[in-house]
Amino acid sequence: MAAVQQLILSLPDWINEVVDWQKTYADDHEKMALAVELSKQNVLRGTGGPFGSAIFACDSGKLLSVGVNRVMPMHNSAAHGEMVAIMLAEQQLQSFSLNADGVKRELFTSCEPCAMCLGGTLWSGVKRLVCAATADDARAIGFDEGPVNEDSYQYLADAGIEVVRLVQRDAAAQVLRDYLNHGGTIYNG
């Protein structure tokens, strides 16, 4: 008989130093500032790649979950910031859909999602995707984002997901460059 395997998803210990779980986030600027700060801290503290995400309730600005890239420390190619935030949010809600309880939710991410994370966004049930840096910014430092193009975003829009791009792009793109300049590993390039 095969041994039972288990996957444990964890965030770095510093998360609660950076995240104010009680705060109500007023607007896109505040929400994206959190996602970008998560990506920055992940780089500065050496706990993963330069990507951070957060999931909020659209109407109240209440934070449900966060994610940072954990690919290398967890030895898991699926542990991207968006996927970590989605999986932790679903676990917290005890549902495979982030809108199963009737609350519309939105995903803020420090960089436009790769092909895997775009699929995860579609299937997660979020109703809004807000991105900072572009896929081209990630490619510029060597990451391969997969087959992502304008049709990918149109597909999300056609499925009822509002897509907003370039919110705080400069700050998020700087985190990507800092990661590369400080010897960060490009693990899929």
Catalytic sites, residue numbers: 82
Map 100-142 to HEC letters. CCCCCEEEEEEECCCHHHHHHHHHHCCCEEEEEECHHHHHHCC
Give how far Cα 186 sits from Cα of 20, 50, 63, 73, Å.
30, 10, 30, 14
Task: Please state, in angstroms and rounded to a whole number, the distance separating the CA atoms of residues 132 and 112.
Answer: 7
Q: Which residues contact 29 (CB under 8 A, 6 or more apart)?
A: 167, 168
Task: Please state, in angstroms and rounded to a whole number, the distance separating the CA atoms of residues 127 and 105.
Answer: 6
Q: What is the largest CA-CA distance in the chain?
A: 53
Which 8-state DSSP code applies to residue 62?
A: B
